[in-house]
Amino acid sequence: MLAGGCAPRQPFYFFEDGDLSHYVGAIQKLEYPDTEQQPLDEAAGTHEPMMLSNAKFDQIWELSLEEAIRTALENGKVLRNLGGRFGSFGGPRPQTGEPPVSLLTAPAGTPSIYDPAITETDPFRGVESALAAFDAQLSASSTWQNGVRPQNVDPLFQTFLFVPVLRTNTGITTAGVSKRTATGAQFGFSNTAQLDATNNLFRDVPSLWTTSYDFTFSQPLLQGAGVTYNRIAGPDTFENTFGRPNFRGVLLARINADISLADFEAGVRNLVSDTEQSYWELYFAYRNLEARKVGRDSALEAWRKVHALYVEQSRGGEADKEAQAREQYFFFRSEVEQALTDVYRCENRLRYMMGISASDGRLIRPSDEPTTARIAFDWQQSLVEALSRSAELRRQKWIIKQKELELTAAKNLLLPRLDVGGRWRFLGVGEDLFGGGAYPTNTPTAVNPNAVTFQDTNAYSTLMSGQFQEWQAQAQFLMPIGFRRELATVRNQQLQLARERARLQDEELEASHALVEAVRNVDTNFALAQTNFNRRVAAERQVEAVQAAYDAGTVTLDQLLDAQRRRAEAESSYARSLVDYNRSIAQLHFRKGSLLEYNGVFLAEGPWPGKAYFDAHRRARQRDASLYLDYGHSRPEVFGRGPITQNFESVGADARPFQLPPRDPATREEPTQADPAAPTFPGTPADKGTGAPELLPTPPAAG
């Protein structure tokens, strides 16, 4: 040991062969889960994406906004959003430079169509779970035991007084039904049958059956009593591991379901909003591409002319002018390439929102034209709608109602616990459980004139005679000295309620500010659309005039190239402001809470299976045949105001200054009286082209 020192040594094992191939050299391994989940066909069958080096496609898909939204809703099991810096709250523009990866980064935070049903069926805080606490409970148990035990008795007495081996056969069977009521009371009815058989010589009969029917009840009088408390907190408030108040009654479960519906509505609204935003962004990308192509073609024409003069060494073909014209062309060519890439990107984002393949050989082109009519909104009506129809504000109001109910239940905890209860029992005993004789009779003896014999008796005959009845009454009182935890619970609920009310006030203030910004955007973008239209017309005329002057030799090439560049910028700016005007209209409806109606989307519960209708009819008949119990002052107050209104016209969602015909469902335009001082907006220019991004023309050789 001294020679070996304190160095660690491996232990010795018998039957060790030295093969350590079974040893795992890593604690954790990255593994695939054992699931059979086939990839989505739209994802697995994606074609090679379109790009500058691969601008091939099979056909043009003329897509309307209505079809885009319908497709997005049909494929919207998970309510997608563009994510990133845009979201769905009317930001400046949706993102176009980054892929939407909100599902990959935060999948749990993305709503889905399953969320309301998941909340409804939550086994701990769902409506059915809360109602289950008041369901009748059927319980039954049966226990039988056989015993063989030698007796420690003097052998002299084993024959005359005691048996040498005591044999027993016992059994007990219990079955009953218990029901908890909305007032906190619990009623029960149970039956017990018990057998006690033995070879004891001192018994009247070897076996004896005992049966009883028990009727029990218990009712809290102070803490935990009343319909209001039990529907808010539930009957099992303190039945948890820590003994803390756990409010999960029927009313709170119902509010949780309403909150999930508000979240679902907001998710659908965001999906529709992002789809419409993506649709108009794709429309702008096409218009911007056309504007850049016009500028590129003009620059190419100018370069060809100057290049021809440059080759002939003629006046106007100087090297500096030829280089300047060439630079103008390549500038516009880069603009066209960037605009074409933006078309592909915007088209991918619209495909993402629609839930279809990123590339399937078709190129989407918007078929709807943006409205150019001035849309007027009544401010007071819009403000009222924004404060009453917003899904976020409605959700916060449900939370406030939830906190109010929890505070009501918490105040009940300040009462002492006083429960009263009772039991009434019908008892029967006999040598047999059924059959045999009647019931025990008096058999006087010399020792005991009141002796009772159980020979030839049965337990049920004894029970039905009513000779043996027992009762029990009880009262239990419990009160903490000081109510420290209960007072802290009430104060905590008061603070939570104050916090939620303060949040609602700030949310309403924020909603009003957002509505102001939305109204301002509508007005500003319409004015910009008018101005940019006039700028576009002026820029076109300027190019024509400068071109004629340049051909006449009265202006320089700089002025011509500058005019062509300004015309392209004016065309793009007009398209940008026109698209922003339509986006701002959708943004205003978003803020007013009428975006779904604006796009013709209504939320409704889907059809149920036939079994559900059968069960509902049966329950309706049960209620019709039941007795109505009026709980009087303990009846809970109404906490819901009915379903929200989804009719667009009935709530005055858009107060117009003039009597206008209905909106055209195809163009979604709402005409108004023409402003004589404002120019008339044209539609998309006739020079819209084929819609397919064309290949770049070949410039002349640079030489």
**248-280, pLDDT tens digit by residue?**
899 999 999 999 999 999 999 999 999 999 999
* Range of weakest confidence among 53-57, 170-174, 590-594: 53-57
For residues 592-629, b (16+ Cβ closer than 10 Å) or e, as one string?
bbbbbbbbebeeeeeeeeeeeeeeeeeeeeeeeeeeee
Listed range (411-425, 491-505, 526-540, 686-700) with the worst mean pLDDT: 686-700
DSSP, collapsed to helix, strand or coil, labels residue 155 as: helix
pLDDT band at 652 (very low <50, low <70, confident <90, very high): very low
pLDDT (0 to 100) of residue 72? 93
Q: Categorize the per-residue pLDDT at 83 as very low, low, confident or very high, splitting at 50, 70 and 90.
A: low
- Tokens 């023309």 locate to 697
pLDDT score recorded for residue 686: 36
Residue 186 pLDDT level (bands cut at 50, 70, 90): very high
Q: What is the mean pLDDT of residues 597-603?
A: 89
> How confident is the model over 417-450, as pLDDT tens digits?
999 999 999 998 888 888 766 666 655 555 556 5
Place of tokens 């009088």: 221
Q: Is 162 exposed, middle or buried (0-12, 13-18, 19+ CB in 10 A)?
A: middle
Closest residue by Cα to residue 362 from 651, 56, 583, 129: 56
DSSP state, residue 51: B
Give the whole-angstrom CA distance, residue 128 versus residue 250: 8
Average pLDDT over residues 222-236: 87
φ/ψ of 206, rounded to 5, equals -65, -40
More confident residue, 12 or 263: 263
- Residues 284 and 581: their CA atoms lie apart, in Å, by 12
Q: Is 77 helix (H, G, I), strand (E, B) or coil?
A: coil
Structure confidence at residue 310 as a pLDDT band (50, 70, 90): confident
φ and ψ at residue 604, rounded to 5 degrees: -150, 155
Q: Label residue 33 by pLDDT band (50, 70, 90).
A: confident
pLDDT recorded at residue 445 = 55
Cβ of 637: how many Cβ atoms within 10 Å?
A: 7
- Other beta carbons within 10 Å of 568: 24
Q: Where are the domains of the chain?
A: 136-180+185-223+420-478
**Rounded to whole angstroms, how far apart are CA atoms 690 and 533?**
23
User: Where residue 98 falls among pLDDT bands split at 50, 70, 90?
Assistant: low
Which residues, other chains included, contact 586 with Cβ-Cβ below 8 Å and sequence gap of 6+?
273, 276, 277, 595, 598
**Strand pairing class (362-366; 452-453):** unpaired
93 band by pLDDT with thresholds 50, 70 and 90: very low
CA atoms of 303 and 333, how far apart (whole Å): 13
List C-alpha distances in Å: 692 to 294, 551, 620: 15, 33, 61
| Contact yes or no for 152/145 (Cβ under 8 A) | no
Question: Above 50 in pLDDT, residue 515?
Answer: yes
Sheet holding 186-198, edge to edge: 137-150, 165-180, 186-198, 207-220, 417-430, 468-478
Angle between the 250-312 and 65-74 helix axes, to the nearest 10 degrees?
A: 130
> What ranges make up the beta strands (E) of 397-491?
417-430, 441-442, 452-453, 468-478
680 falls in which pLDDT band (50, 70, 90)? Answer: very low
377 neighbors 584 (Cβ within 8 angstroms): no
Has this prediction a pTM greater than 0.95?
Answer: no
| pLDDT in the model for residue 39 | 82
Least confident piece of the model among 7-21, 84-98, 215-229, 400-414: 84-98
| Amino acid, single-letter form, for residue 572 | S
- C-alpha pair distances (Å), 264 with each of 110, 121, 143, 212, 392: 10, 16, 52, 55, 11
* Cβ atoms of 200 and 417 closer than 8 Å: no
**Alpha-carbon gap, residue 530 to 574, rounded angstroms:** 8
At which residue do the structure tokens 């933006």 appear? 342
3-state SS class at 522? helix
Look at residue 550 in the predicted model and tell me its pLDDT: 86
Q: List strand residue ranges (DSSP E) for 341-467, in order.
A: 362-366, 417-430, 441-442, 452-453
Alpha-carbon distance of 518 to 512, in angstroms, equals 10
Sign of CA dihedral 430, 436, 439, 440: negative
- Residue 32 pLDDT more than 50? yes
In angstroms, the Cα distances linking 237 to 130, 241, 602, 624 are 11, 11, 39, 32
Helix (H) or strand (E) holding 63: strand 59-63
164 near 175, Cβ under 8 Å? no
Cα distance between residue 355 and residue 74, in whole Å: 9
Q: How far apart are CA 679 and CA 677, in angstroms?
A: 7
- Nearest alpha-carbon partner for 425 in 231, 601, 597, 217: 217
Instruction: State the first-to-last Cα distance of the chain, in angstroms, to the nearest integer.
Output: 94
Mean pLDDT for the stretch of residues 144-161: 76
